[in-house]
Amino acid sequence: MNRYERMFAGLTTAGRVAFVPFTVLGFPDLVRSEAWIEAMIASGADALELGIPFSDPLADGPTIQRAMAAALDAGVSPDDCLRLVDRIRQRHPELPIGLLMYANLVWARGPARFFSACAASGVDSVLIADVPLDESDEFLHQARSAGVGQVFLCPPNIDERRMKLLAERGFGYTYLLSRAGVTGSEVAAGSPVAAIVARLRELGAPPPLLGFGISRPEQVAAAAKEGAAGVICGSKVIELMLAEPNDLEAVSSRLGTFVRSMVSASKFSPS
* Catalytic residue numbers, as ranges: 49, 60
Contacting residue, 26, 28, 61, 227, with other proteins by CB under 8 A:
61
- In the bound state with other proteins, the residue whose beta carbon lies nearer, of 46 and 61, is 61
In the complex, minimum distance from the CB of residue 144 to other proteins, in angstroms, rounded to a whole number: 20
Largest Cα–Cα separation, the chain: 50
* Half-sphere exposure at residue 51, Cβ-oriented, CA atoms within 13 angstroms: 33
Mapped onto helix, strand or coil, the DSSP state of residue 150 is strand
In the complex, minimum distance from the CB of residue 196 to other proteins, in angstroms, rounded to a whole number: 13
Total residues binding other proteins (CB under 8 A): 42
Contacting residue, 24, 117, 118, 131, with other proteins by CB under 8 A:
131
Distances (CA, A) of 241 to 2, 19, 27, 158, 187: 31, 18, 9, 33, 19
Contacting residue, 35, 69, 119, 188, with other proteins by CB under 8 A:
69
- In the bound state with other proteins, the residue whose beta carbon lies nearer, of 84 and 131, is 131
Closest CA to 41 of 1, 100, 77, 94: 94
- Touching other proteins, residues 151-210 (CB under 8 A): 152-159, 162, 177, 180-182, 187
Q: What angle do CA 44, 127, 87 make, to 5 degrees?
A: 50
> In terms of C-beta distances under 8 Å and separation of at least 24 residues, what long-range contacts does 200-204 make, across chains too?
200/154, 200/163, 200/166, 200/167, 200/174, 200/176, 201/227, 203/163, 203/164, 203/166, 203/167, 204/167
Q: x-or-dash pattern for other proteins, window 233-252, by CB under 8 A?
A: --------------------
- In the bound state with other proteins, the residue whose beta carbon lies nearer, of 182 and 233, is 182
Q: At a CB cut-off of 8 Å and minimum separation 6, what does 34 contact? A: 84, 87, 88
Mapped onto helix, strand or coil, the DSSP state of residue 39 is helix
Mapped onto helix, strand or coil, the DSSP state of residue 233 is strand
Q: x-or-dash pattern for other proteins, window 78-117, by CB under 8 A?
A: x-----------------------xxxxxxxx--------
- In the bound state with other proteins, the residue whose beta carbon lies nearer, of 134 and 218, is 134
Which stretch of DSSP H or E encloses residue 108? helix 103-109
Contacting residue, 10, 12, 15, 56, with other proteins by CB under 8 A:
56
- In the bound state with other proteins, the residue whose beta carbon lies nearer, of 12 and 55, is 55
- In the bound state with other proteins, the residue whose beta carbon lies nearer, of 159 and 218, is 159
The angle that helices 194-203 and 160-169 make with each other, rounded to 10 degrees, is: 50
In the complex, minimum distance from the CB of residue 130 to other proteins, in angstroms, rounded to a whole number: 5
Q: How far apart are the first and last CA of the chain?
A: 29
Contacting residue, 6, 9, 42, 55, with other proteins by CB under 8 A:
55
In the complex, minimum distance from the CB of residue 40 to other proteins, in angstroms, rounded to a whole number: 25
- For binding to other proteins (CB under 8 A), which residues are involved? 54-59, 61-62, 65, 69, 72, 77-78, 102-109, 129-135, 152-159, 162, 177, 180-182, 187
